[in-house]
Amino acid sequence: MSKTSASAVLRGVKNIIVSFDMLHAKSQCAREVLRLLSSKKFKRPDLVVSSNIVKNVHPNIKVVFADGQSLEIDAVEHRARDVFEMIKNQTQRTENWKDTVMFRASLEANGFL
């Protein structure tokens, strides 16, 4: 992850659900994300972190943003660092889209949309 604070990475995130099977050979990413989210560095009073540890479940992470959007991340295919980068990128895309919507009339008038 680049030099971005943990609170900045999770800005706009409402809920994170981490699902995995403790015996799954490739659930390391999900366990690491859950461990990091429970650390003091990532503590936020408005963020709900849930774990779903069930036998025979594919490791995944579901991120629900405050604006209602969600992001499903396959925890087998990614590392913990990648997960936080994906969350940060989704937040930035959403903010950029909101800026675009705000200036939509101007963009359309100038032929950009």
Task: Quick: pLDDT tens for 65-101.
Answer: 988 889 999 999 999 999 999 999 988 887 776 666 6
Token pair for 89: 């990128």
Asked if 57 and 101 touch (Cβ cutoff 8 Å), the reply is: no
Q: Work out the percent of the chain whose per-residue pLDDT is above 90.
A: 37
1 is a domain residue:
no
Domain range for 32: 12-109
Q: For 11-26, write each residue's pLDDT tens digit.
A: 889 999 999 998 888 8
The pTM for the full model equals: 0.75
Length of the chain: 113
CATH of the domain at 66: 3.40.30.10
Structural domain total, the chain: 1
Distance CA 25, CA 10 (A): 28
Distance CA 66, CA 49 (A): 14
6 is a domain residue:
no
